Each structure stands twice: as structure tokens, then as C-alpha cells.
Structure 1
Amino acid sequence: MTFSRRFFTAAGVAATLAFAGLGTASAIETAAYSDAAFKAAQAAGQPILIEIHAGWCPTCKAQKPIIDKLAAEPKFKDLKIFRVDFDDMKPVVKAFGAQMQSTLITFKGTTETGRSVGDTKEASIAALLDKSL
């Protein structure tokens, strides 16, 4: 079987994309919210992001790759991300005072440091996460 230059170029591009994807695999994982885990992170004084999320929400879907990219940055290595399901965890959504999905809330330990609703701009989400450090 003869391989063309196009085949090797395509294979090289595919390999590069695959390795690039591996770089994001080390991103901080988003955990499902639990009171115990959230309180433990608060007690440890960690930076925390609460992500009020709905699977059907296009804004939430747009926020996810931005949050993943930012969370992979070394300065956010200690950031704990907790996802609260907007539809299935109504008491938790209410406890955080969130009125709608796509709400992002940051904490430094027990202190709320900021929140945004419906934001899909990388710069302003980065500024929000910076408040938790």
C-alpha cells in the first residue's frame, strides 16, 4: 500500500490534535456539588467556583470550555469547581440565591468573592476566578 503526502500530513495533524487534547486532560475536574465537599473546601480556605449548570442551556455549554481552559492554568491549580444541576438540585440553587442557570459564584474559603450570570466572555470569567485566589 502506498501512502501519499496528504495521508501523512493528515495523520500528523490528527496526532497533534490528539496530543493537544491530552494537555487539557490535566485540567481541574468539575465535581458534582455536595454540602460536605463544599464545606470541606471552604474550611480549607480553598478557592471555589460554584457553577449553576443545566445540560440543556446553550450559555452553560459555552461557559464550559472557557472554564476548563482557565482552570488548567497553573494559578488555578487549587481551584475547586462544584457543579450544581439547576433542574435536579433546586434547594441548593435556592440556597446560593441563584435565579437562573449559567450562574457562576466564586468563594475564597467561606467568603463569596463574586458572581456572574450568563457570562461567556473569557476575560470577565478569568477576572471572576481571580477574585477567588
Structure 2
Amino acid sequence: MKAFTIFGFVVMLSSQALALQLDGTFTVASVSDPERYLKEDGSGKITFSEESPQGWSFVEAEKDRYKIANTVTNHYISCGSAEDDICGASDKAQLFQIHNDGDNVYSFVDAEDSLPLYAGPGNHLVLASSDFPPPEYLVFKLTKV
């Protein structure tokens, strides 16, 4: 019982620390290709590009569920709910759980379906299928702007 109480306290503290670390604007790079940054392209797709990075903010909409917003266009990341859907930009926010994997590396998981986002084919941001890609495609490096 004592261990369970301590575990709950640690989870609460790490949740608070995560919220503090996500305050502000960040660039998002794929760990699998750190020279490519997340951006909204001209067609409304969310892609990874070597062009100048765009800023992203993480807004807690519900407890431990975040909207990911492009600070240039004010659009949100929206990926739908089907496996392997390519993410796009939308006025309507999709909620994600953000997991701090350490050293400014994070994973983004759809709050409804528990499917992670990953750096997919064609440099697109994609909602993963249950057959996950290699781990380095599932995590992203955040750098505060």
C-alpha cells in the first residue's frame, strides 16, 4: 500500500513537471532524421522538412491531453482515427497524450485510440498502425524557441 501511494505521488509530480516543460513554443524534429523539422506544408499536410522550422505549442485541453498547435498558422494537428492516416492541419484540435521519454525526447499518442504518431513514409506525420515502426520513428526531439 505504501509503495502504491509513493508511486501515485511520483506520477503526480512527473505530470506537473511535464506541463512545465511544455510551456512555450518548440520546434519538433524527428529523432530518426534530426535535420527534418515538423511543419505544415502549403497543402495542409503535416510533414518533416529541412526548410526553416515552424514553432509548435502544446495546450493542455483536458488533464494530460494536449492540443498541438502551429504557432505560425494557428492550425492544430489532426490525424483522424484510422491506422496509417496521414496527419493534416485543421481548425479542430485532436487531443494527444504527450509522453516525456527523457532528454527533450517525447512521443505523441492519440488520446482516444492510444495509437502513437510517427515519422512516416514521404516525410509525413502519420497515426501508426498496431504494427509499430522502429522506436526511433516514434519519438520527437523538442527544442524550445
Q: Report the TM-score, using the length of structure 2 for normalisation.
A: 0.31
* Higher radius of gyration, 1 or 2: 1
Bigger relative contact order, structure 1 or 2 (CA pairs below 8 A, ≥6 apart): 1
Higher strand share: 2
Q: Report the TM-score, using the length of structure 1 for normalisation.
A: 0.33
